[in-house]
Amino acid sequence: MNETITTTGSPHYRVCNLCEAMCGIEVTVSPSDDGADPEIKIRPDKDDPFSRGAMCPKASALAALHTDPSRLRQPHKRVGDQWQAVSWDEAYATVETELKRIRKQYGANAIAGYLGNPTVHNLGMMVFVKALFRAIGTRSVFSATSVDQLPHHFAALFMFGHEMRIPVPDIERTDYMLIMGANPVASNGSLMSAAGTRETLKAIDDRGGKVVVIDPRRTETAKIATEHHFITPGSDVYFLLAMLHVVFRDNLVNPGVLAEHIRGLDALQPLVEPFAPETVAAITAIDAETIEGITQAFCAEKRAVLYGRMGLSTQVHGGLCQWLINTINVVTGHFDTPGGMMFPTPAVELVRHDQQRKAFGRWRSRVHGLKEFAGELPVATLADEMLTDGEGQIKALITICGNPVLSTPNGKRLEQALPEAEFVLCVDNYINETTRHANLILPTPMGLEVDHYDLVFNVLAVRNNAKFSQALFPPDKDRPYDWQVLKELASRMAKKKPGWMARIRTPRRVLDWGLMLGPYGRLSHPKRWFSGLSLNKLLKSPHGIDLGPLQRQVPQCLITPDRRINLVADELVNRLREITEQELPTLVEQAQQSSEGFLLIGRRMIGSNNSWMHQVPKLSRSKSVRCTAMINPGDAERLGISDGEQVAVSSRVGQISLPAELSDTMMPGVLCIPHGFGHTRKGTRVPHAEAVGGASVNDITDHRAMDALTGNAAFSGLRVDLHKVPVA
């Protein structure tokens, strides 16, 4: 059980788990006399060695969500369009009966799972979620990974031997950071857990270094950077290939001590030969001299790093982009070295060093034959699997901490599929765009009510660190924790009775063993018996424990068959050959012609978090949280559109209407719309979110637009049309 400590007056220290930054916070609670909700104050924890007093306005959401009357606190069953609160016993029995019936009638793969983003930000879920789907016995598992960072895992698997062996930029020690398709000043960083990124990036500039941003929008990050260049959305792979071309052409290859740990360096040069900067300039809209200049400056700097995130992952060549990013860092001597790309040494290791992975293509999706990756199928094809009749059709869906109707491409189509399912179970705390289709919603304690340790984000942190957050408030009476819900469901669905080990598993026990056996653990070395890490030690250090800067990890961290970094894995090289032969010639030709419409990109803003933070009035009322179609004033003038005017944006799959926002931060020909908005569907119970307005961009993103290599959704670079909405 979680041990809760209800504080009155004395501060409680924990980590904010809303995004990847892991900011330490100080929470004080003042009870009210009149039985109303307590007053909860959240401030930055200046003594947290990882975040050192950094915090963003979203942290206050932890308090607002805690007391939000719209948050469900009891299981809810849908009867027609009405909701009925039911007991946990009844809820569990319903799930067991329905899922067992469906499994018996259609087979285990007819039960699908979708794991949303907060699953990974949640200790209890992380420890038990796999057990549930294993107990059901299904291969139909989908998650937000395939609308996000799948290409990073893909590159990691093939280059370093495990999908979780992801390198992160050592931003605290770098002197040159080339950022492509990421906006850490708004997002607070991703696949680089680093609190207070704005200050850290500014510090690079202050010590005479450079931050160079390549992005179709002059973002908040670009504004504090030393240099910014627009790039045609979706064309980054060509920019990166041209960089590598210049590295070989100008003899800038310099892997240093890594030379003996890499495979395929010689084979790379001919592969990038066709991508001279002059050839790709028109495709990327970045001239040849700039590409050369950036490459030379990057190579000349000892402590430099090339980093690319969402904007590069969620495009048609996401997998190749992440491969090339790693490759360029390796080949130029900016890998596994301070200030470059490095592997963290987390206190709890998620990757076993003796475990080689075969995690790709072990099975395929039924309708389109898409390959599995690390046990999951691309979520862009979930609706296909639900709507296409035949053996193996998905008949039941379990969503856990996710809102795929707003988050996955062509969400409207998924919305058509949901009522067709025989049973929809949502583990969530709100009746939102997805969960309104549930037959049953199981709300679980969250935020300040749960124990927390960042199992995943410490694997991606720019400084090694460990911190345990105890639950602050007890959940309502009789309300089980998330892990207890998953464990109960797993035990009911398991074909064999769980063994005693499984029965006594709790998140705290799993964490304690993980810490003790980890690289700093008390069981890792006899010398550490008294001083090493354990849960007990973390409980005594409420601000967290600093474990130092990132350390060199190659070759011991490599799990590839020959224990080398593989620069030329067949999967990646073959895909590159395909685009060299098939795509490059037509793109060069097309780039000479003017094209119709706009290329779509997304944006994140500091006061918003995917689809679910609009329910917090303090955040959603902020002027900066606006769902608009941002375009360049020149484009607007050409189309006769003025600022704030309602416009229609359409694609192959749909149309949305939202206000235009004119901004010279936009590259001409590019249209920028944030995701996670448009809480306008009937039957939801998120009143503050409803008031925010806007539209869901995923009503127009295309479920067929995918990275052919990885199956990741390609949101960026989708061609869309924009026109004025005629005034009736």
Ligand X SMILES: Nc1nc2c(c(=O)[nH]1)N[C@H]1C(S)=C(S)[C@@H](COP(=O)(O)OP(=O)(O)OC[C@H]3O[C@@H](n4cnc5c(=O)[nH]c(N)nc54)[C@H](O)[C@@H]3O)O[C@H]1N2
24 binds, among ligand X, Mo ion, ligand SF4, none (CB under 5 to 8 A by kind): none
Q: Which is nearer to ligand SF4, 59 or 330 (CB)?
A: 59
Q: Which is nearer to ligand SF4, 58 or 543 (CB)?
A: 58
Please tell me whether residue 147 binds ligand X under the rule CB under 6 A: yes
Q: How far is the CB of 522 from ligand X (least distance, A)?
A: 30
Q: Which is nearer to ligand SF4, 50 or 343 (CB)?
A: 50
Q: How far is the CB of 602 from ligand X (least distance, A)?
A: 4
Residue whose structure tokens are 């942290």: 59
Q: How far is the CB of 366 from ligand X (least distance, A)?
A: 22
Task: Please name which of 422, 321, 382 lies closest in space to residue 698, comparing C-alpha atoms.
Answer: 382
Stretch that binds Mo ion, among 148-156, 295-303, 325-333, 369-377 (CB under 5 A): 148-156
Residue from the set 402, 514, 518, 542 that interacts with ligand X by CB under 6 A: 402
3-state helix, strand, coil split of the chain in percent (to 5) is: 35, 20, 45
Q: Which is nearer to ligand X, 186 or 325 (CB)?
A: 186
Q: How far is the CB of 425 from ligand X (least distance, A)?
A: 12
> What would you measure as the largest C-alpha separation in the chain, in angstroms?
78
Please tell me whether residue 379 binds ligand X under the rule CB under 6 A: no
Residue from the set 26, 68, 148, 415 that interacts with Mo ion by CB under 5 A: 148
Q: How far is the CB of 19 from Mo ion (least distance, A)?
A: 9
Please tell me whether residue 678 binds ligand X under the rule CB under 6 A: no
Structure tokens at 67: 């007391």
Contacts of 385 (CB under 8 A, 6+ apart): 112, 140, 365, 366, 367, 377, 393, 394
Residue from the set 196, 216, 340, 669 that interacts with ligand X by CB under 6 A: 216
Cα separation values, 170 from 107, 324, 348, Å: 47, 18, 20
Please tell me whether residue 336 binds ligand X under the rule CB under 6 A: no
Residue whose structure tokens are 């959940």: 475
Stretch that binds ligand X, among 90-98, 248-256, 330-338, 400-408 (CB under 6 A): 400-408
Task: Please name which of 58, 60, 53 lies closest in space to residue 187, comparing C-alpha atoms.
Answer: 58
Sign of CA dihedral 152, 153, 154, 160: positive
Residue from the set 446, 567, 629, 658 that interacts with ligand X by CB under 6 A: 446
341-342 vs 168-169, strand pairing mode? antiparallel
701 binds, among Mo ion, ligand X, ligand SF4, none (CB under 5 to 8 A by kind): ligand X
Please tell me whether residue 236 binds ligand X under the rule CB under 6 A: yes
Give the C-alpha separation, 85 to 422, whole Å: 20
Single-letter amino acid code for the residue at 716:
S
Q: Which is nearer to ligand SF4, 467 or 564 (CB)?
A: 467
Sign of CA dihedral 616, 619, 623, 628: negative
Give the E-state strand segments of 494-644 in sequence order: 545-549, 565-566, 598-601, 629-631
Q: Which helix (H) or strand (E) holds 571?
A: helix 570-578
Residue from the set 186, 240, 490, 653 that interacts with ligand X by CB under 6 A: 186
Please tell me whether residue 630 binds ligand X under the rule CB under 6 A: no
Structure tokens at 124: 């209890």
Give the C-alpha separation, 728 to 726, whole Å: 6
Q: How far is the CB of 457 from ligand SF4 (least distance, A)?
A: 9
Q: How far is the CB of 165 from ligand X (least distance, A)?
A: 19
Please tell me whether residue 72 binds ligand X under the rule CB under 6 A: no
Residue from the set 76, 152, 165, 309 that interacts with ligand X by CB under 6 A: 309
Task: Please name which of 620, 134, 118, 104 lies closest in space to residue 403, comparing C-alpha atoms.
Answer: 118
Q: How far is the CB of 54 from ligand SF4 (least distance, A)?
A: 7
Contacts of 189 (CB under 8 A, 6+ apart): 20, 21, 182, 197
Q: Which helix (H) or strand (E) holds 718?
A: strand 718-724
Q: How far is the CB of 429 from ligand SF4 (least distance, A)?
A: 17
Please report which residue ranges of 79-219 form alpha helices under DSSP H.
Answer: 88-106, 123-136, 150-160, 184-187, 197-206
Residue whose structure tokens are 């907060």: 118
Q: How far is the CB of 610 from ligand X (least distance, A)?
A: 3
Please count the residues of the chain. 728
Residue from the set 717, 718, 720, 722 that interacts with ligand X by CB under 6 A: 717
Q: Which is nearer to Mo ion, 148 or 512 (CB)?
A: 148
Q: How far is the CB of 197 from ligand SF4 (least distance, A)?
A: 8
Q: How far is the CB of 447 from ligand X (least distance, A)?
A: 7
Stretch that binds Mo ion, among 103-111, 122-130, 141-149, 246-254 (CB under 5 A): 141-149
Q: Is the CB of residue 565 less than 8 Å from the CB of residue 36?
A: no
Total chain residues near ligand X (CB under 6 A): 63
Site for ligand X, residues 478 to 537, rule: CB under 6 A: 482
Q: Is the CB of residue 383 less than 8 Å from the CB of residue 416?
A: yes
Q: Which is nearer to ligand SF4, 493 or 619 (CB)?
A: 619
Give the C-alpha separation, 234 to 715, whole Å: 9
First to last CA, the chain: 60
Query: Phi-psi category of 488—alpha, beta or left, where left has phi over 0 and alpha has psi -120 to 50?
Result: alpha
Q: Which is nearer to ligand X, 19 or 579 (CB)?
A: 19
Please tell me whether residue 146 binds ligand X under the rule CB under 6 A: no
Instruction: Return residues touching ligand SF4 (CB under 6 A).
Output: 16, 18-19, 21-23, 55-56, 58-59, 188, 195
Fill in the per-residue mask, 111 to 130: x = in contact with ligand X (CB under 6 A), - = not in contact: -----xxx---x--------
Give the E-state strand segments of 225-370 in sequence order: 227-229, 262-263, 304-308, 341-342, 360-364
Site for ligand X, residues 549 to 608, rule: CB under 6 A: 601-606, 608
Q: Which is nearer to ligand SF4, 199 or 721 (CB)?
A: 199
- Give the three-state DSSP class for 602: coil
430 binds, among ligand X, Mo ion, ligand SF4, none (CB under 5 to 8 A by kind): ligand X
Q: How far is the CB of 288 from ligand SF4 (least distance, A)?
A: 38
The 10 Å CB-count burial string (b at 16+, else e) for 28-48 is bbeeeeeeeebebebebbeeb
Residue from the set 2, 60, 140, 190 that interacts with ligand X by CB under 6 A: 190
Residues that bind Mo ion (CB under 5 A): 148
Residues that bind ligand X (CB under 6 A): 19, 116-118, 122, 144, 147-148, 180-184, 186-188, 190, 214-217, 219, 231, 233-234, 236, 309-312, 315, 401-404, 407, 427-430, 432, 444, 446, 482, 601-606, 608-612, 675-676, 697-698, 701, 715-717
